[in-house]
Chains A and B, each alone.
Chain A
Amino acid sequence: MEKFFELLTHMNPFDLVQVIFWGMAGAISFYFSMGNARVWTSISIGFFLIFLSQAYGINPWGHYQKLTAFHYIVGTVAIMMITHGFLEYYVFCRTFEISGNKLIVYLSTLGILAASGVFLMINPNPSPNTIRNIRMVENAIWVFLCVMNIELVRKIYLAIKDSDISKGFIAFGLVFFFIFLWKGSELYLQIFQWDQDWQDIIALMSDESTDFDQYPARIQFSQEVRRYAGLLSGISVGGTFTYIYRLLK
């Protein structure tokens, strides 16, 4: 516990606020998943998993590389769950079919996470470079699935625009826009090796160089976008679920 509080005091206040917001969004979405229709389960569990993926900063055992890698894998599972949920919602809007049950969704999610954990355990300890690669894959998946989800949300909205919940999907559109900016800016920095992880890696590797100093403006801009879009993502997710909860009450 002491270590946890020590981490909190050493953490960037902005990142801390972001984690707190994701914690609130995760709690709201998880609560939402329990009291609502099956189709919402995948979506709300996915958003809850974002909190888990973001919580590595406050994880007292975060220095274990396998655990750090696991956080990023959880992030990847999160967006896949969310996309699966929206896809199911879209299918419902077209066919009015609702299948499956909540327990299977919960158990499947746990199964995927457990399999990911096993995958990490049976493989060598990931190097900082491997962890960065996992994080980059996560960001790439997030960016492309965010675009797909914006399109899905648009189509869902058009199908149900005269129902009570339709405005909630506009809010989800906004959520994915913020997440797209957040993850997109992070991916941009990673692709051009301007991210902090890469700077930390090359500090230990003498044969690698960086052009970090040549593009301070765009790097600075991207970093700011990442920070604020990340914060707005957390706030908008919590707000959206609260809004939908009220619409469905």
Chain B
Amino acid sequence: MFLLPKGNPLFENLAVTKLKLPDVLLKLSTGGFTGYSSFVFQTSTVILVFEAGKLVSALLEDRNGKRQNGFEALSALAELMVSSGSGAMNVYKLSKDLTMCIHALLEGETLYKAQELKLIDINSLLGKVKNDRMNGCLRIYTEEHSAMIFYKEGNPLGFFHDGSGDIESSSSESQKIAGLPGAKIDLYATQSVEEIMGINLLEVANIQKIWDATVALHQSEIDRTNKERQERDKKAATLRLAELEEQVKVIVGEYVGKVGRGIVDKELSENGGNSCLIDEAAFAKFLSGIERAAKLLISGTNIKAMMEKLASTITIARSDS
């Protein structure tokens, strides 16, 4: 995942779920913000780089290192903000030069990628950076450590390494990593600040539309899920009621005989179906109907036992549901 210089933090750990992407971008844009904003989610991180209020870069990297940028990254960010349910937003103000370097790191041209330091003449490489007056970032890393050196027009702006709170002027950490066995380098070059300033993703992409479409899609997804859940619940309730109805029929049949099932059917239909079994008032009416019919068929002792059994069965069923 990205490890970027924090610069001057404006906001940290803002809950993403409470934010609206168009509002955030509008605020950063109209405020002429320079720096970057990071959105940290469980599955991925999104970096938006601003230069004087212009969105010059948008990059998403997921847990597996897969990257998306530009419009795709913005769409994915909108989706993550709407659907993830968690996440934090940080906003760091940086100097124009450092912003340029961040842009280089994220989206600049890759001149060297995973080159082993021991196979490279580092002095001539640094000489080339100086001579070519390059803007960019040199990343030195091993499997466990990493450090970055930011350049502007060939001159180092500063050093950044793991655990750094900010750009540092000391190169000792970078040198230490460079001395580790298996150290590698990446070299990224970017355009000048003036050229970067020409890009503004906010003009290219209709953020409001992306956001609205994402919200609508998410809402429809929620609606669909709710509907499915309701249908599932309804099915489960129907099944439970059918089982309860069968239990009631078995009990009444046990005492009254085979006509018991018919009596239950008739009373259920007169009391609005088997849902009356879980409604207190309707169930009392149902029981009274069963008792009235049973009086024509069985003894008072058996009626009493049957009614007690029915009542306890329904009480258990109600407490279970």
Contact = CB atoms under 8 A, between A and B. Distances in A.
B165 interface: no
Given A162-B257, A163-B259, A98 B296 contact: yes
A165 B295 CA distance: 10
Contacts of B296: 37, 39-40, 89, 92, 98, 165
Interface string B265-278: 11100000000000
A249 B301 CA distance: 7
B266 A163 contact: no
Interface string B44-77: 0000000000000000000000000000000000
A93 B300 CA distance: 19
B298 A163 contact: yes
A160 interface: yes
Given A92-B293, A96-B293, A98-B293, A160 B259 contact: yes
A248 B263 contact: no
Nearest to B267: A96
A74 B236 CA distance: 60
B256 interface: yes
Contact of A96 (B258, B263, B298, B301): B263
A165 B297 contact: yes
Contact of A98 (B256, B258, B292, B300): B292
A205 B293 CA distance: 58
Interface in B247-303: 256-259, 262-263, 265-267, 292-293, 295-302
Q: Is the interface of B mostly helix, strand, loop or mixed?
A: helix
A96 B295 contact: no
Nearest to B292: A98
Interface residues of B, number: 19
A211 interface: no
A97 interface: yes
B266 A96 contact: yes
A248 B296 CA distance: 8
B300 A248 contact: yes
Given A96-B263, A164-B302, A37 B292 contact: yes
A95 interface: yes
Interface in B193-244: none
Interface in A74-104: 89, 92-93, 95-98
B301 A165 contact: no
A98 B262 CA distance: 13
B259 A159 contact: yes
Contacts of A165: 296-298
A240 to B, nearest CB: 16
A36 B299 contact: no
Nearest to A93: B259
A204 to B, nearest CB: 52
Contacts of B300: 248-249
Contacts of A89: 296
A199 to B, nearest CB: 46
Interface of A: 36-37, 39-40, 89, 92-93, 95-98, 159-166, 247-249
29 contacts: A36-B295, A37-B292, A37-B296, A39-B296, A40-B296, A89-B296, A92-B293, A92-B296, A93-B259, A95-B266, A96-B262, A96-B263, A96-B265, A96-B266, A96-B267, A97-B266, A98-B292, A160-B257, A161-B257, A162-B258, A163-B257, A163-B259, A164-B297, A164-B302, A165-B296, A165-B297, A165-B298, A248-B298, A249-B299
Given A92-B293, A163-B259, A166-B257, 11 more contacts: A37-B292, A37-B295, A39-B296, A95-B266, A159-B259, A160-B257, A163-B298, A164-B298, A248-B295, A248-B299, A249-B300
A-B complex: 3 closest residue pairs judged by Cβ atoms: A162-B257, A163-B257, A96-B266
